[in-house]
């Protein structure tokens, strides 16, 4: 590996995987869209330098897993040939997440793609230092979930005759989830740009290392943050516009968006090529990457639906028109943080959903290998999370403090040169165990937690639809896969019987009764 | 603790993740099994991520010592 190649790693977009010398490469997709030509090329790169798989996560862009360290430079060169770059990870401004404009989506009040193109300026200008996720939606259905997944979230809204974006700050999941707080109402695009500019300036001058907008709000207070981000919003601020590869035309009315089933966000390279082809043939020549890890083909005329579906099915690709919504996850067993085999569990859960005969696209199921919540369990009807109960082996601990730093909820203190864990504060994320250089913290207990009743993004006309975000609550933890599947089957049967989402069922019968019904005897 | 004679040193202060890990890894490749590398790492992400990744690659962390605003880490090649 050449020094020039390792220099590339500095800029981010490359994440180490559990397997030795293996990395995932994140490909930037402006406004979460990619034209068919480029997607096909990304699939070829995944075949040549990866293992022929592309991953889609809540980051809403293609990720190529299993690229060997020695090949990262080559992958970057190949991407450059088709004018693609790597996205960023870590403490940086992230790729802006959007949904669709009003030409494609009938619910859209404004054109989030237009705002997304402008806000890409902050991605381009970012010198690094803080993780800033920006998420935009065109209507209050909140398909990109800006209030929980965006440090800065914009939700298009309309009051009387005025249309604009309501601006939120503070959204995040992770160990300490936070629902974004409204900081401004009905902003126009220029005001949104100034809002982001103000926030970036605020966090860079007032922020403490590693701080997210939620942390900043908790530390300095809502009012102080509100005042700072609302400063001089009317100021003329020109940003050089990035152009999203989207083609709009008036023909798009009465068209469909085909959502592709990609369990665990995994799509094989051959399938990705087919999706690209169908998008060219029947759609608009580009593919959109949705929040729940499913690629989407927008702009398919209703008359072509059967032909498009048929062609996809010939290549083993199904669209989400039966069963539950796309089963969404993090990197799971590929990730250095993964506590259990997420992919394996979700495949079994999917099979179970068909066996039970659950046919409700609004039911959302997610899994996250650890409590960092890259799988959006908090926003799903049913969510699975890997958990670990750590224990210190005092004879091995040398009081080096690495675990104290690794613990993100400050649950570890050093007393008499030995680490002590405050179990009331511990979020069971396993970081202390993994970070200890001397193996002096062990996993006393390891298992899966089930969360229930979260409501987040809405993709369809859900009978229990509400624009309010509700985080899922913990049902049970530290159970094994067999117990998980048994409880899941009970929940599936209840959903089928009541024909509503889990949040609605809990509202109807109460959490206590829900627990009694689904847990039975453990 | 066993007798430690440092065979190689690498100063990774000011080098960001994951580049610091990659540089440490390349340095370790120059060593023979059982030899010792001393690495200087910044506080924050580097001291959290680099020893962990090195450990996962099968090497052993023998000591971590805080010196002023950085860390001195002793690694035994595995």
**pLDDT exceeds 50 at position A3:** no
Kindly identify which residue of chain A lies nearest to residue B22, measuring between CA atoms: A6
Task: For chain A, give the percent of residues with pLDDT over 90.
Answer: 82
pLDDT by 10s per residue, chain B, length 78: 556 889 999 999 998 877 899 899 999 999 999 999 999 999 988 998 899 989 988 999 999 988 999 999 999 999
Query: pLDDT value at position A97?
Result: 96
CA angle B28, B29, B33 (to 5 degrees): 75
Model pTM greater than 0.90?
Answer: yes
Checking if the pLDDT of A241 tops 80, the result is: no
User: Quick one: pLDDT at residue B57?
Assistant: 87
User: Structure tokens of A485?
Assistant: 């599947």
Q: B16: distance to nearest CA of chain A, Å?
A: 7
Which pLDDT tens digit goes with each residue over A321-376?
999 999 999 999 999 999 999 999 999 999 999 999 999 989 999 999 999 999 99
Question: Are the beta carbons of B64 and A400 separated by less than 8 Å?
Answer: yes
| Helix, strand and coil in chain B, % to nearest 5 | 30, 35, 35
User: How much is the pLDDT for A367?
Assistant: 98
- In tens, the pLDDT along A6-26 reads 555 656 789 889 998 899 999
> What is the average pLDDT across A288-299?
95
Alpha carbons within 13 A on the beta-carbon side of A358: 28
Reported as a pLDDT band with limits 50, 70 and 90, residue A246 is low
Q: Among the options B17, B31, B62, B74, which is catalytic?
A: B17
User: Average pLDDT for residues A218-245, to the nearest whole number?
Assistant: 90
The residue with greater pLDDT, A91 or A512, is A512
What's the gap in Å between the CA of B45 and the closest CA on chain A?
Answer: 9
Q: Give the residue, A480 or A142, on which the prediction is more confident.
A: A480
Q: What is the pLDDT of residues A396-432, one digit of tens each?
A: 998 888 999 899 999 999 999 999 999 999 999 999 9
Give the one of A10, A336, A434 whose C-beta lies nearest to B16's C-beta. A10
pLDDT band at A91 (very low <50, low <70, confident <90, very high): confident
Tokens (6 digits) for A481: 């896969």
Q: Do A69 and B22 touch (CB under 8 A)?
A: yes
pLDDT > 60? residue A234 = yes
Yes or no, beta carbons of A1 and B22 under 8 Å apart: yes
Q: How large is the average pLDDT for residues A66-70?
A: 93
> Across residues A93-108, what is the average pLDDT?
90
**What's the mean per-residue pLDDT of chain A?**
92
Do A135 and A112 meet the contact criterion of CB atoms below 8 Å apart?
Answer: no
How far is Cα A441 from Cα A436, in angstroms, rounded to an integer? 7
The pLDDT tens digits for A122-137 are 999 988 889 999 999 9
Contacts of A9 in chain B (CB under 8 A): 18-19, 22
Q: Mutate one of B15, B16, B22, B50 to test the A interface: name it (highest A CB count within 10 A).
A: B22
Query: What average pLDDT score do residues A280-302 get?
Result: 95
Overall average pLDDT of the A256-265 stretch:
96
B17 assigned to active site: yes
- Residue A9: predicted pLDDT: 62
Residue A2 pLDDT greater than 70, yes or no: no
Q: How far is CA A93 from the centre of its chain?
A: 15
B66 interfaces chain A, CB cutoff of 8 Å: yes
Confidence bin at A4 (pLDDT 50/70/90): very low
Optimal mutation site among A17, A86, A400, interface B, most CBs of chain B within 10 A: A400
Question: Cβ of A69 under 8 Å from any chain B Cβ?
Answer: yes
CB-nearest partner of A405 from B21, B47, B55: B47
The full DSSP string for B53-77 is: HHHHTT-EEEEEEEETTEEEEEEE-
Q: In this complex, do A434 and B66 lie within 8 Å of one another by their Cβ atoms?
A: no
Please give the average per-residue pLDDT across A491-495, as a whole number.
97
> Is the pLDDT confidence value at A154 over 60?
yes
CB contact at 8 A, A266 and A53: yes
Instruction: Determine the Cα–Cα distance for residues A256 and A264; give it in Å rounded to an integer.
Output: 24
Identify the pLDDT of residue A177.
96
How does residue A461 score in pLDDT terms, banded at 50, 70 and 90? low
Mean pLDDT of A128-155: 94
Question: What string of H, E and C letters represents the secondary structure of A309-321?
Answer: HHHHHHCCCCECC
Asked whether the beta carbons of residue B19 and residue A7 sit closer than 8 angstroms, the reply is yes
- Average the pLDDT over A101-122 and give the result: 91
Question: Once rounded to an integer, what is the mean pLDDT over residues A449-467?
Answer: 78
ipTM above 0.85, yes or no: no
Q: What ranges make up the beta strands (E) of A325-472? A: 328-329, 365-368, 382-392, 412-415, 418-421, 441-452
Cis peptide before B65 (omega within 30 of 0): no
Q: How far is CA A211 from CA A105, A119, A311, in A?
A: 35, 21, 47
Overall average pLDDT of the A292-317 stretch: 96
């Amino acid at each position: 590996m050449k020094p020039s190649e390792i220099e590339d790693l500095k800029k981010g977009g490359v994440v180490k995987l559990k397997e030795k010398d293996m990395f995932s490469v994140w490909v930037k997709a402006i406004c979460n869209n990619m034209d068919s030509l480029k997607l096909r090329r990304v699939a070829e790169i995944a075949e040549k330098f990866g293992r022929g798989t592309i991953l889609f996560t809540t980051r809403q862009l293609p990720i190529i897993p299993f690229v060997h360290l020695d090949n990262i430079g080559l992958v970057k060169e190949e991407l450059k040939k088709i004018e693609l770059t790597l996205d960023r990870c870590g403490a940086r401004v992230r790729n802006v997440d959007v949904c669709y404009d009003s030409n494609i989506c009938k619910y859209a009040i404004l054109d989030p793609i237009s705002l997304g193109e402008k806000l890409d300026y902050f991605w381009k200008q970012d010198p690094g230092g803080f993780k800033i996720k920006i998420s935009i939606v065109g209507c209050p259905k909140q398909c990109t979930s800006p209030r929980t997944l965006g440090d800065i979230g914009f939700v298009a809204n309309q009051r009387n005759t005025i249309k604009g974006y309501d601006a939120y700050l503070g959204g995040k999941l992770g160990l300490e989830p936070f629902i974004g707080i409204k900081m401004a109402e009905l902003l126009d695009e220029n005001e949104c740009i100034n809002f982001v500019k103000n926030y970036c300036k605020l966090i860079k001058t007032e922020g403490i290392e590693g701080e997210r907008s939620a942390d900043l709000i908790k530390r300095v207070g809502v009012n102080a943050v509100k005042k700072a981000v609302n400063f001089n919003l009317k100021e003329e601020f020109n940003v050089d516009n990035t152009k999203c590869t989207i083609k709009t035309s008036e023909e798009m009315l009465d068209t469909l968006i085909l959502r592709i089933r990609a369990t665990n966000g995994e799509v094989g390279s051959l399938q990705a090529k087919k999706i690209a082809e169908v998008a060219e043939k029947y759609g608009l020549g580009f593919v959109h990457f949705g929040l729940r890890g499913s690629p989407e083909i927008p702009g398919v005329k209703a008359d072509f639906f059967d032909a498009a579906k048929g062609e996809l099915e010939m290549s083993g690709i199904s669209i989400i028109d039966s069963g539950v919504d796309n089963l969404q996850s993090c990197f799971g067993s590929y990730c250095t943080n993964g506590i259990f085999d997420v992919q394996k569990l979700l495949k079994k859960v999917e099979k179970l959903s068909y066996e039970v005969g659950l046919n409700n696209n609004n039911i959302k199921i997610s899994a996250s290998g650890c409590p960092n919540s890259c799988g959006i369990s908090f926003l799903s009807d049913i969510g699975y999370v890997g958990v670990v109960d750590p224990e210190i082996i005092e004879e091995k601990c040398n009081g080096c403090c690495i675990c104290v730093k690794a613990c993100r909820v400050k649950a570890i203190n050093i007393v008499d040169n030995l680490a002590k864990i405050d179990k009331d504060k511990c979020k069971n994320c396993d970081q202390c165990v993994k970070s200890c250089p001397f193996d002096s913290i062990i996993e006393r207990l390891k298992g899966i937690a089930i969360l229930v009743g979260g409501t987040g993004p809405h993709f369809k006309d859900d009978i229990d639809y509400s624009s309010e975000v509700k985080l899922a609550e913990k049902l049970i933890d530290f159970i094994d896969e067999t117990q998980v599947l048994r409880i899941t089957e009970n929940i599936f049967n209840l959903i089928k019987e009541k024909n509503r989402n889990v949040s609605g069922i809990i509202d109807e019968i109460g959490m206590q009764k829900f627990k009694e019904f689904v847990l039975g005897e453990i | 603790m066993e007798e430690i004679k440092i065979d190689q040193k690498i100063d990774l202060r000011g080098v960001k993740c994951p580049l610091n890990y990659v540089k440490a890894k390349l340095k370790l490749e120059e060593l023979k099994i059982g030899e010792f590398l001393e690495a200087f790492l910044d506080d924050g992400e580097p001291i959290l991520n680099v020893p962990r990744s090195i450990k996962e690659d099968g090497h052993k962390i023998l000591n971590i010592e805080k010196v002023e605003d950085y860390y001195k880490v002793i690694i035994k090649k595995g």
